[in-house]
Copies of this chain bind each other. A is one copy, B any other.
Amino acid sequence: MTDIICTVDIALLTLKDASLHVVLLKRENDPFRGVLALPGGYVHAEEDADTRDAAVRTLRTKTGIVSPYLEQLATFSGPGRDPRGWSISIGYFALVPEAVINQAGHPQVELLAVGRLKGLPFDHQQIVEAAVSRVRNKSSYSSLPVYLCGDAFTLPRLQSVYETVLGEPINKVSFRRKIDELAILEPIAGALETGRSNRPAQLYRLKRQYRDQLSLTDRALNAR
């Protein structure tokens, strides 16, 4: 039986300039040396407990980032996707606020808008598209976009994040009702976002028990 190449690739997504961006790195080795690509690497049977572990390790090693949210996306495979031979890549995606990338990310990390990718090696374009599609879909009935915000954020900011991810405006009253129903946020006592010439907005944070756990709704946020 021919050997199969086993790798992981991670689509690390963030929000920058009000649009979804993905982290890319210049490849240090062949194939595609010097080309921008998703952070990825071999699964190390000697040290990884599973492929999620491989994804965490790869992300940390190559970008310096540890993402609180990391989800398995899908597995991509075939004889043609990697010039080295028949390969499998277990794709993962992660969401972080832009600040995390700026603060913890290695300097060579690049951010590209997901809509303007071109010439990505392997099937990385397809992986990014699958990740974006999953995030869009899941955002419509879950608290997923919260992971794109920092520790503290206002409701208008959160709504704007949802709108960017979903790609359509959301009714303000409905949005606040939904978020209220989810009951995952708590106001930070006395903390307001000041500085702009309007009424300041209340700052919120995720309740402790929801830090590492998605919250789902049974009805979609925006049913059009």
How many identical subunits does the complex contain? 2
Q: Interface-forming stretch among A11-19, A40-48, A107-115, A160-168?
A: A40-48
Among B6, B79, B223, the residue within 8 A (CB) of A218 is B223
Q: Tell me if A51 is interfacial: C-beta within 8 Å of chain B.
A: yes
When distances are taken between beta carbons in the complex, the residues of chain B under 8 Å from A188 are none
Are A45 and B4 in contact, CB atoms less than 8 angstroms apart?
Answer: yes
Complex contact B220–A224 (CB within 8 A) = no
- B-contact 0/1 string along A48-90, CB 8 Å cutoff: 0111000000000000000000001011011100000110101
**Interface residue A1 (Cβ < 8 Å from any Cβ of B):** yes
Q: Is A3 an interface residue (CB 8 A)?
A: yes
Please determine whether B75 and A2 come into contact, CB atoms closer than 8 angstroms: no
Bound form: Cα–Cα A46–B4 in Å = 10
Whether, in the assembled complex, A219 has its beta carbon less than 8 Å from a beta carbon of chain B, the answer is yes
Nearest CB in chain B: distance from A129 CB, A = 15
Min distance, Cβ A77 to any Cβ of chain B, angstroms: 4
Asked if A45 and B2 make an inter-chain contact with CB atoms under 8 angstroms apart, the answer reads yes
Residues of B within 8 A of A218 (CB): 220, 223-224
Q: From residue A178, how far is it (CB to closest CB) to chain B in Å?
A: 13
CB-defined contacts of A86 to chain B, threshold 8 Å? 45
User: Which of A3, A6, A85 counts the most chain B CB atoms within 10 A?
Assistant: A6
16 contacts between A and B (CB under 8 A): A1-B44, A1-B45, A2-B45, A2-B46, A3-B3, A4-B4, A6-B6, A6-B88, A43-B77, A43-B88, A45-B86, A49-B78, A75-B90, A77-B90, A88-B88, A218-B224
